[in-house]
Structure 1
């Protein structure tokens, strides 16, 4: 025995060196068991489909569901290698303990661990606890197998809900990947785990009947029905038996029930109903049937029946369809809209009359009608299997790296828009990476300057939007040390990203919480141009003291600064010395597909637009002052879009604009949502932004991509524009150059303007290598 054990350990080591990845599968029952039905089939078919790619180790009970004795002739509590090359450990009831499981894990060293149940103590909860407690670093996948469906939860509801709340509270739901077999199960998982769960939708692999369709004899007025499932309240057998009481006496129905009596009292209830049925209804309880006889049994009947309270898949339903049996099932399975296809019925359980109509209609089929539906069922199953591609999805599930999480703090996020570029910076990072990372965003519940929160958006709770991003809209009094600490502990993020340099609630407080609690992940801080000399002109002394303090307490050594260009890198180094860690990485622009379009342009007419916050940093007053110095022969329209962030500054701008002559019309339009910016830009000839400093300038990119040449300061990354005939980037000390640029723009004729407009569009289009940028952001969060 000792020699066999040494040989087995050597064999396991050889597998490790061979390079094939190993999957350890925990399941209460496995073949030759059959009484548990679909969950056994689900595991068996995954193993059969992938055993050529992975080494499988299946750990299961040594007996079938409900049995008191183990399988005959099968050794227990040791690895057995089957003829198909699968390793199985049939565990006796007293085997599953902490030390023994730890020893098995050390022997197998699995790359992946797969759990085939939500609630099983021995084959899910105990091994999952051991893995987490011992800091297992592989991927853990849990398949709830429909156990979170509302129908399944009706049984022992309070006990299950308390368990699920505990599962969420202790954070296990964030440390595994849930396998949902359809979209409904994904919703069920996210309902209980509040959008924090990592869910992969991968359909079950069914067993297909490989025999050709066999014609069955069918006489009008009679029907042979089969129920093939566990006799358990969830399967709802009594519902159909009660319906049979209402069948017309001139219809003869044979109803055979196959399945283990999983719930003794419920089985007795069903037998009692069956015994009370009229003589034209013949019901037989046939007991369980092994998998290798399922198709043989199904071929003897006309219709398959399963009025279930809920199935995440329904292997027996597919097996019935694949043998040409139309099905009569509830609408609580993934198999929907069957009647129009003439393959069966999926009927709401509250609509008993529709079930009765289906029974009467099926009994009334003659041979020709029945074969039409039978062929429809067979063809439906065959086409479903051809389109499934489930094996490829399982390979992805067992190969792709575990999704890492990014916690992003930002003062404002969509649907907010008044803060401009910083919102777009975050939004574009999320959009380009959301398929590879799980994003959690904590932001204010209102837009910049607003007194009221966004309408219709719940606050102080996680919301998962349609794009799959988790957002917490925080009320003004929500962000405190303890709450931030709790949120971070719940998410356990791999990365934390701060979208501001000075924000007290959305940078400084959470950064302090992270460092105080010895957070071990990567912290990234994006100053967003707030260290630029132009931005520092406002409240200079206050900002200077803060930055000195930031450096004095050495926070700059504990974060990675995200600079969006070389100038911002220099600004960071100026304040924090060469000890600051910096990644220089361009902002991500809006990559939506756009086309150039010509705009009408007449000489001596010009429409200009400013879209940005009305704030001293954006320097709108400077351009208005230039307009007051233009001659009376200049005809110009200048529309200003943006929120008045600095009311006094906005008032000064309005007063100055009122001094302009009638030849120059200035209109303050107010802020506009981001999704209207591009269309608004297209209505003008020239974009204006004499800013004191931008680390990027999303709105400049938007203007160029709309075909607007730009008139901007030289305090942005957009440089040497005149050489490219796409605009001007001018020193703020040279007002005459701004006037000269306006004169050239006014003089443009249609052909010359089209040239500059097209150049602007092409500059935006060609300014970024999006795949390369995507890859560099992966490295930042790598």
Structure 2
């Protein structure tokens, strides 16, 4: 099978979960014997990565395009159209990146089967940013999306897609999967962990408010570690909140973490917290579970499995409910906590992309069929 994938951010970029999810997906399909071509931008990749030439990597043939500006992706469009000509399936990642609609139109003209993945961009919490522009673009997208198959990662995202593209929109639902990092030797430390992009949609301010109201957190040995890249100076706002709520001694910002440092940070944490207003998936949940660390996730994420598999909590992110869930964890006995860690490790296996690559093969075969 010949698959062409377009991505705005792509590994080794770490600007959000999709940059890794698309890479793992491409790598698994390439390892399974399929011809995979990825055209990405050079945004947020190390200077040591060659740009504007084809590279043969573990995930297939990759081009990191050098564009005049991130939002003027002329080179990205050019190389992607060249790649589309040789593909059977064209998988466009992102709705609102400027090249996406151009590539959908090009793929339609070339009579290719098209898969379009919103990656959470249609959630109400995401659409409030630049809402007028996005609503205008969605009207255009509805015109060009006939016969396009939308990739949804969860039931909520399927609902969002059909709200905007109609009840007859073609949607295939398949959870994100990932390449599992080896379990690290745990050196337990008394910290709660938020790890991810620092952005208002992640509701980190809600988490800080919650912890400011928790006597158990304030008076106990536990602290909060916040890791991840800043977006639009949101970290400064969070640091002001930390001072306002007198949490300076209890909250640490460590910036972006990658590779072994990231996995060890996840492994050592007592619990990972994802309080987001909205997530179409949340790769960090799987990354935490893979290290045996339970997760408290908001009901704005599709992670009810944390409750049913006893691997964490799925709770509303209002301060009262979130505080109750966190304090429940801080009160767990040693044996009860060990049970949650076991549940976390067992649940992680469900999302191993190399063990479950047949699901993606069926996804593409169904699209072609």
Normalised TM-score (structure 2):
0.88
- Secondary structure at the aligned position of 1:756 is classed as helix
The alpha-carbon deviation at position 662 of structure 1 amounts to 6.0
1:579 Cα shift? Answer: 3.2
CA contact (8 A) 1:586 1:773 kept: no
Partner of 1:193: none
Distance between the aligned counterparts of 1:548 and 1:690, measured in 2?
Answer: 31
Residues of 1 paired with 2:313 and 2:79: CA distance? Answer: 48
Report the equivalent of 1:320.
none
Distance 1:470 1:503 in 2: 22
Map of 1:610 onto structure 2: 194
CA shift in 2, pair 1:485/1:749, >3 Å: closer
Shift of 1:721: 2.8
Q: Residues of 2 paired with 1:661 and 1:489: CA distance?
A: 54
Cross-structure match for 2:359? 773
Match of 2:73? 479
| Residue aligning to 2:339 | 755
Tell me what 1:44 maps to: none
Greater relative contact order (CA < 8 Å, ≥ 6 in sequence): 2
Q: 1:486 to 1:599 in 2, by over 3 A?
A: closer
Equivalent-residue separation in structure 2 for 1:481 and 1:412 (angstroms): 14
TM-score (norm 1): 0.43
Q: CA deviation at 1:549?
A: 2.8
Residues 224 and 252 of structure 2 are in contact (CA less than 8 Å); yes or no, is this contact kept in structure 1? yes
Query: Which of 198, 206, 211 is the aligned partner of 1:627?
Result: 211
Contact 1:688 1:710 (C-alpha < 8 Å) held by counterparts: yes
Name segments (4+ residues, structure 1) moved above 6 Å: none
The match for 2:36 is: 439
Query: Aligned-pair distance for 1:495?
Result: 1.6
User: 1 CA distance for matches of 2:59 and 2:294?
Assistant: 36
Q: Tell me which of 107, 110, 114 is aligned to 1:519.
A: 110
Q: Which residue of 1 aligns with 2:226?
A: 640
2: distance between equivalents of 1:422 and 1:563? 13
User: Any residues of structure 2 matched to 1:232-311 within 5 Å, and which?
Assistant: none
* CA drift at 1:674: 4.7
Asked if residue 412 in structure 1 is aligned to residue 9 in structure 2, the reply is yes
Equivalent residue number for residue 163 of structure 2: 574
Q: What is the match of residue 314 of structure 1?
A: none
Question: Deviation of residue 508 (structure 1)?
Answer: 2.4
State how far apart, in whole Å, the 1-side matches of 2:301 and 2:46 are: 32
Contact 1:686 1:711 in 2 (8 A): yes
| 1:744 corresponds to which of 303, 308, 328 | 328
Match of 1:713 in 2: 298
Equivalent residues in 2 for 1:436-585, closer than 5 Å: 436-447=33-44, 454-465=46-57, 467=58, 469-477=60-68, 479-480=73-74, 484=78, 487-488=81-82, 492-505=86-99, 507-515=100-108, 518-551=109-142, 554-585=143-174
> Which structure: larger Rg?
1
Q: Is the 8 A contact 2:289 2:295 kept in 1?
A: yes
Residues in 1 aligned to 2:76 and 2:154: alpha-carbon distance in whole angstroms? 36
Work out which of the residue numbers 170, 177, 181 in structure 2 matches 1:588.
Answer: 177
Q: Distance in 2 between matches of 1:670 and 1:596?
A: 21
State the alpha-carbon separation in 1 of the partners of residues 214 and 343 from structure 2: 27
Considering only aligned residues, what root-mean-square deviation do their CA atoms show, in Å? 2.6
Q: Name the counterpart of 1:727.
A: 312
**What CA distance in whole angstroms lies between the structure 1 residues aligned with 2:124 and 2:77?**
35
Cα distance, 1:774 vs structure 2: 4.1
Q: Is the 1:635–1:664 contact (alpha carbons within 8 Å) kept by the matching residues of 2?
A: no
Residue 597 to residue 687, structure 1, CA distance change in 2 (3 Å): same
1:687 match:
272
After superposition, give the CA deviation of every residue in 1:583-610 in whole Å (9 maximum; x if it has no partner).
1122122245x45966647xxxx41111
**2:237 aligned partner:** 652
Please, which moves more after superposition, 561-570 or 770-779?
770-779
| Counterpart Cα distance in 2 of 1:464 and 1:720 | 37
* Residues 37-76 of structure 1: pairs in structure 2 closer than 5 A: none
1:212-223, aligned counterparts within 5 Å?
Answer: none
Task: Note if contact 1:588-1:773 (Cα within 8 Å) is conserved in structure 2.
Answer: no
Q: CA deviation at 1:456?
A: 2.4
Residues 41 and 67 of structure 2 are in contact (CA less than 8 Å); yes or no, is this contact kept in structure 1? Answer: yes
CA contact under 8 A between 1:566 and 1:584: conserved in structure 2? yes
Q: Following the alignment from structure 1 to structure 2, what is the Cα–Cα distance between the partners of residues 483 and 764? A: 36
Do the aligned partners of 1:485 and 1:514 also contact (CA within 8 Å) in 2?
no
Structure 1 stretches of 5 or more lacking a match? Answer: 1-403, 448-452
CA distance in 1, matches of 2:278, 2:204: 13
CA distance change for structure 1 residues 715 and 722 in 2, over 3 Å: closer, same or farther? same
Aligned to 1:718, the other structure's residue is in SS state coil
CA contact (8 A) 1:691 1:715 kept: yes
Does 2:22 match 1:426? yes
The 10-residue stretch of structure 1 (467-476 or 566-575) with the greater mean CA deviation from structure 2 = 467-476
Provide the rounded CA distance (Å) in 2 between the counterparts of 1:725 and 1:588: 20
Q: 1:780 to 1:672 in 2, by over 3 A?
A: farther
1:608 is paired with a residue whose SS is strand
> Please, which runs of 5 or more residues in structure 2 have no aligned partner?
none
Change over 3 Å in CA distance of 1:582–1:661 after alignment to 2: same
CA contact (8 A) 2:271 2:295 kept: yes
8 Å contact from structure 1 (residues 485, 513) kept in 2: no
Aligned residues: 360
When residues 489 and 618 of structure 1 are mapped into structure 2, their CA distance, relative to the original with a 3 A threshold, is closer
Distance change >3 Å, CA 407–CA 755, structure 1 → 2: same
* Aligned equivalents of 1:611, 1:482: Cα separation in 2: 30
Q: Which whole-Å CA distance do the structure 2 matches of 1:463 and 1:481 have between them?
A: 16
